[in-house]
Copies of this chain bind each other. A is one copy, B any other.
Amino acid sequence: MGFDVGQFMDADTIQAIKDIVGEENCSTKVADLYTYGFDASIHHRSPELVVQPRNTEQVSRIVRLANERLVPILARGGGTGLCGSAVPLAGGIVLDMTRMNRIKEIRVEDLYCVVEPGVVYDRLMEALAPFKFSIPTAPGSGEACTLGGMVATNASGMRAIKYGAIRDYVLGLEVVLASGDVIKVGTRTLKNSSGYQLERLFVGSEGTLGIITEATLRITPKAKKAAMIIAAFDTLEKAGKCVSRIIARPLIPSAIELMDSTCIKAVNKTVKAGFPDAEALCMIEVDGDPATVEEDAKTVLAICSEIGAIGVECSSDLEQMAKWTYGRKSIMSSLSRYGEGFVSVSLADDMAVPISKIPEAVVAFHRTAEKYGVIVGTYGHAGDGNLHTKMLLDPTSEDYWRRGEKAVGEIFDTVISLGGTVTGEHGVGISKAPYFKKERPTAWGTMNVIKKALDPNNILNPGKMAQWEGSILRMLRYPCDKYSD
């Protein structure tokens, strides 16, 4: 199940693809190839051909050809992935799906919509808004990420605790298999017990089992009102306790975000978020009908006070909530401006642990960072146990990278020992691949069996998921990318 890297395309194959989609929708320009070798991760590899298909038939014909000629092929959405899922490890073809961007149907009475894979999440939300509907998974990159990419990585965001991940909204998919055959899986009904739930197998498969060309997604009414509580604590443990106590009440907020002092300092400095300076901060959003929101906010405030919050603010003012949300969303970019010569990199970027293990996890992450002399900012969707750690390091220093990689290994060991997963919402890609087998020692083999059965020639995003071997630093986009293992 290895994969080759190198020259797969010949002039004849390129011409055959041009004949399918038209010359204007293909590029072999070095600048284009270089650009399409990136996503938002630390990795890079240029493909040999970039294609922008317009419809399922074109995708089917291209994949069929790639399968016959054993050319690696990778479908790409908005390129917002943080772990390298859309970096073409083996070279070959990148299919840029963003031109297949039609919202085909919105059926409010039937509680579903049908989209092409290139539809951007925020565009779909705008289209649903007049009906007072949405898909409330709310990924952080909503303004740029596509529904196809979201389905392929099982994306979610800060509202997953109440509203789930995109897997919970996928009713049906149209998928182009490695053979080029087009299959329809799932239904347009709200539920089905009709055969294997293949639509949910393709969720999170990162293009390694098939290419999504259409998605039927469940839609749900928007909450009428929301309120937000910002609670500051003098220890991370207290913030973690606050999360656990809210849930056990039981009360499921629409979001519970956590940030440590590194993150608070960074956003207060760069975007003037106005968060209270503290060791830890919880940003809790409750939503629903107005009366429920009021009552839930009161309950949350009471719990914060029980735990001993050192400062609490509450607002249902849209402008204030937007300001806080912007502050939260700016953590990633703010951390990059933390210190001269440092960048914030996604190495261990979205592990998840059982909710009650959050304080233990965060304390252990900080200890690891100290041990390896790297700076780690920790924040994330504490309500569903999903944490983000960003490492601040000098990208030109190979020594920093090596220490960073060691720290990541230890962080993932912690996560696995706490019963967690190395990726809660971004996907495996390249960054999480070496740790993935550790987390899933038994499922790993079954995944390979399914991969072999559905893609016997290993053309679909090869080298990813259960196939990766070696160090994550092997394909760095940064200056020291001569690193080899």
Contacts and interface: CB of A to CB of B under 8 A. Distances in A.
Interface of A: 107-112, 131-133, 153-156, 160-161, 164-165, 167-168, 177, 181-185, 187-198, 200-201, 203-205, 209, 220-221, 244, 247-248, 250-252, 288-289, 291-292, 295, 350, 352-357, 384-386, 419-428, 432, 436, 439-440, 442-447, 449-450, 452-454, 465-466
Contact of A289 (B221, B295, B356, B423): B295
A155 B356 CA distance: 30
Given A154-B191, A221-B250, 15 more contacts: A110-B356, A187-B419, A187-B420, A189-B424, A191-B352, A191-B424, A192-B421, A193-B204, A195-B204, A195-B443, A196-B447, A196-B465, A197-B204, A221-B252, A446-B454
Contacts of A110: 354-357, 385
A190 B384 contact: yes
24 contacts: A108-B248, A110-B354, A154-B193, A177-B446, A181-B442, A187-B420, A188-B419, A188-B420, A189-B352, A189-B419, A189-B421, A190-B386, A192-B424, A193-B425, A193-B426, A194-B428, A194-B439, A195-B436, A196-B450, A197-B204, A198-B443, A200-B203, A221-B251, A289-B289
A174 to B, nearest CB: 9
A156 to B, nearest CB: 6
A449 B440 contact: no
A453 to B, nearest CB: 4
Interface centre among A292, A420, A446 (most CB of B within 10 A): A446
A244 B109 CA distance: 5
Contacts of A247: 108-109, 111
Contacts of A427: 193
**How many monomers of this chain does the complex have?**
2
A423 B193 contact: yes
A185 B447 CA distance: 10
Given A192-B424, A196-B465, A423-B193, A248 B443 contact: no
A209 B190 contact: no
A450 B453 contact: yes
A247 B289 CA distance: 16
Contact of A446 (B164, B183, B244): B183
Nearest to A83: B193
Contacts of A355: 109-111, 190
